[in-house]
Amino acid sequence: MISHCPAGLSVIMIGQNEAHILCQTLPPLQKLADEIIYVDTGSTDESCAIAQAHGAKLFHHTWQHNFSLAKNQAIEQARFRWLLSVDCDEELVLDAVAKPLVAEIIEDTEHPAFKLTIDNIGSNGQLAQRMEAYRLFQNSPKIRFHNPVHESIGDSLMTHWPTFKVPSRRLRLLHHGYSDGERNRHKIVRNLDLLSRWVEHHPNNPYALYKLGSNLHHLGRTREGLAYLERSVHILMQDPKRGTHAYYLELLSSYADCLNRCGRTQEAAHLQQQLDNLSGQ
């Protein structure tokens, strides 16, 4: 048994000044979760009141420029066996699958984590990108978030369950963060500062390099971004377990796009062929 907590689902969220979106994203979670843990990192709007109005348990955490610290604070407050990590601008899809699937998952005592689908919605309201992420996991002291930004439980899983291949479950989140261009740009600029500090202190961390390169690319600084993506790919290629990293295919896709935009079209085409082969496995 991985967790000794009672069967159930705790949603964990952190936020600051998210009043504009919480009324949309909290109601589906209310219908599915046994509790919602909301850790506020210094809101000056109505975020806290809205969270409580939707049944969330409210806690406060002084912002220390580290998303993992705040997320781990939320874990500490959660009571139930399974945790669902949701960002404030992510909306759970309550389709016919969701409730029976969660009812099955919360009884599971063997799997440490599952992947779920995140659909990034663009400014035109259409699907811009689909990805998977480790967002559903057991409430265990062995599982905590790492990284100051783009926080993930991946390091915990690799440390304690190195041979475990995380399976997917058919739960889906709609990420609305890209639908508001100005807010999205503000978040990218904010994250760029955190990522730059992270890479400065951990220059050989492939995930940090990937995220910094990807953010620079999204800001139109593609040639700068390409240098970081190349370093990330080079480091990961030395890792025989590179395929187990959740971000591996996303990294290669971003790298191929940057290569193409920088005129290195033959390299981009070769990499895209590799991606197609990997995706078909």
Task: Give me 271's structure tokens.
Answer: 């990499």
The Cβ of residue 58 has, within 10 Å, a number of other Cβ atoms equal to 15
Which uninterrupted H or E stretch holds 131? strand 127-138
- Side-chain-side CA neighbours of 118 within 13 Å: the count stands at 23
Residue 6 reports pLDDT greater than 60: yes
Residue 27 pLDDT: 98
How many angstroms separate the CA atoms of 134 and 153, rounded? Answer: 7
- How does DSSP classify residue 244? G
Answer for the pair 106, 81: CB distance below 8 angstroms, yes or no. Answer: yes
CA distance 266 to 14: 43
Instruction: Say what the pLDDT of residue 280 is.
Output: 64
Q: For the chain, what is the mean pLDDT?
A: 93
Q: Which of 141-155, 184-198, 255-269 has the lowest mean pLDDT?
A: 184-198
Instruction: Provide the pLDDT for residue 122.
Output: 83
119 contacts 175 by C-beta, under 8 angstroms: yes
In one letter, which amino acid is 144? R
Residue 147, pLDDT > 60, answer yes
Type of residue found at 86: V
The pLDDT of residue 62 is above 90: yes
Say if residue 4's pLDDT is above 80: yes
What per-residue confidence (pLDDT) applies to 161? 95
Q: Which domains does the chain have, with CATH numbers?
A: 9-175 (3.90.550.10), 181-279 (1.25.40.10)
Buried b / exposed e across 235-260, counting CB within 10 Å, b at 16+?
Answer: bbeeeeeeebbbbbebbbbbbbbbbb
- The length of the chain is 281
- Amino acid identity for residue 134 in this structure: Y
> Which tens digit of pLDDT belongs to each residue from 232-246?
999 999 988 887 787
- pLDDT value of residue 268: 93
At 151-208, the pLDDT tens digits run 999 999 989 998 898 999 999 999 998 766 677 777 888 889 999 999 999 999 999 9
Give 267's contacts (C-beta < 8 A, 6+ positions apart). Answer: 259
Spatial contact of 10 and 83, defined as CB atoms under 8 Å apart: yes
Question: What is the reported pTM?
Answer: 0.88
d(CA 58, CA 213): 35
Burial 200-232 (b: 16+ CB within 10 A, else e): eeeeebbbbbbbbbbbbbbeeebeebbebbebb
Taking residues 44-55, report their average pLDDT.
Answer: 98
Better-scored residue on pLDDT, 267 or 181:
267
